[in-house]
Chains A and B, each alone.
Chain A
Amino acid sequence: MNDSHSQLKSGNTFQPTGLDRKLIVATQEGLPLTSRPYLLLAEQLNITEDEVISRMQRMQDAGVIRRIAVVPDHYKLGYTLNGMTVWDVPDDMIKTLGQKLGSLEFVSHCYHRPRHLPDWPHNLFAMVHGRTQQEVDDHIQTIIELLGEHNNGHDVLFSKRILKKTGLRIKK
């Protein structure tokens, strides 16, 4: 067994208050589709609408809420292929290259993750989406050209099946 646990990232953890947590629970499956959704939440939690809005704003400022969105189901829209592309790039270049990849419009996530040598040499992850194999292949080619000589090796892991997918679930 590898010593994976020692690599756990520390810090950077937000501790939502009890009320924030209740708000997360109340909104994680979606807002009510009515004229005053935040008022409805407020009534549910026995606080004011202002407080709901300001707490959500605070969580967004702290990065706990990434975005408030109309979230499409990509599968339903034909985006059935996602390729997790993984790259081995020089550590001293990773920030520049990561930002380049992250700004591509077909990349939904781009992360620096640790290598685990010798099994896992890759340190840069970019999730690429498409509706056809050709579309995804074209996207990968774009990244190859973008990285040029800084690409010391890459791999693409296509999704075969979704075995589980749920949003963040914090228990009540």
Chain B
Amino acid sequence: MMSTVKVDTLGQQIIDRYQKGFPLSTTPFKDIANELGLEEQRVIDCVSSLQESEIVSRVGPVFNHEKAGASTLAAISVPEQLLNEVADQVNRFDEVNHNYAREHEYNLWFVVTATDEQHLERTLRAIQNTTGYAILNLPMEQAYHIDLGFKLNWS
């Protein structure tokens, strides 16, 4: 197993408690401090250092792509030796915000987000034209659990 970064107890506590429900109030850090029985500055310092060491990528709203516009999960099947080249072509589209190589016949999986359905459709067509590969288009029909973070095991 790869070595993982160490996070102190306060850091763990803050991440566990605030993967959702970061206060939308005038003084969010003070609210957190009150809840944890600490000084506000201690919380700000802790979160700042977590962010500086890139353990926390950001503090803020997580947007729902589906509702902030239109999006879909798309996959293409590419010969392994062309994967990097095709991935680069796909990544050049600003509308692509996640792209993973996965072990499967469909080996390139990416999320396309656009301002509306027309824009999305146009973008998918453009990606197909650019790469020359057919897209498996898998838009979300229903969400049963939408990215509320997941339980971390700190051991």
Instruction: State the majority secondary structure of interface residues on B.
Output: mixed
> What CA separation (Å) do A72 and B68 show in the bound complex?
22
Instruction: Identify which of B18, B26, B44 contacts A70 (C-beta below 8 A).
Output: B18
Instruction: Identify which of B44, B98, B103, B150 contacts A164 (C-beta below 8 A).
Output: B98
| Shortest Cβ gap from A112 to chain B (Å) | 4
- B44 near A110 with CB under 8 A, answer no
> What CA separation (Å) do A10 and B139 show in the bound complex?
10
Q: A70-B56, A111-B140, A116-B136 are in contact. Are A65 and B22 (CB under 8 A)?
A: no
What residues of A have a CB within 8 angstroms of the CB of B106 in the complex?
120, 157
Chain B: interface residue total (CB-CB under 8 A): 93
- A60 near B26 with CB under 8 A, answer no
| Shortest Cβ gap from A30 to chain B (Å) | 3
> What CA separation (Å) do A2 and B58 show in the bound complex?
39
Instruction: Identify which of A13, A37, A111 contacts B116 (C-beta below 8 A).
Output: A13
What residues of B have a CB within 8 angstroms of the CB of A65 in the complex?
61-64
Chain A: interface residue total (CB-CB under 8 A): 89
What residues of B have a CB within 8 angstroms of the CB of A13 in the complex?
67, 69-70, 116-117
| Chain A residue nearest in CB terms to B57 | A73
What residues of B have a CB within 8 angstroms of the CB of A112 in the complex?
140-144
Instruction: Identify which of B29, B59, B144 contacts A111 (C-beta below 8 A).
Output: B144
| Shortest Cβ gap from A164 to chain B (Å) | 4
User: Interface on A for B, CB 8 Å cutoff?
Assistant: 1-2, 4-5, 7-10, 12-14, 16, 24, 27-31, 33-39, 49, 53, 56-57, 59-60, 62-73, 76-80, 84, 94-95, 98-99, 101-103, 105-114, 116, 119-120, 125, 129, 131-132, 155, 157-171
18 more contacts with CB within 8 A, not counting A24-B68, A31-B60, A36-B26, are A9-B139, A27-B60, A27-B61, A28-B63, A30-B51, A35-B44, A57-B24, A65-B61, A67-B148, A68-B24, A70-B14, A70-B18, A76-B55, A108-B145, A113-B140, A157-B109, A163-B108, A163-B110
